Amino acid sequence: MLSEVFWVAFITTVSGMVIKLASMAYKSKCKECEVCCIKVKRDVELETIADEKEATDIENNNTNNNK
């Protein structure tokens, strides 16, 4: 019989893997993804513009703080 420690470690590992995969999927710039009959279409152009704006804002903020 497996102990509680094993199950806690197993659930933590699986949860971490699922979260990491979701993070990688979010950061990918694929227009269309399909996993297990679930199809997702994304507007990557808007996400790219938002990411560039966020990077520019952070860069401007760092420049202002260094002065």
pTM comes to 0.50
Helix ranges restricted to H, 1-67: 4-27, 44-66
Report the alpha-carbon distance of residue 2 to residue 10 in Å, rounded. Answer: 11
Question: Counting every residue, how long is the chain?
Answer: 67
pLDDT profile of the chain (67 residues), mean per 10: 87 94 77 78 78 81 66
Residue 36 has what pLDDT? 80
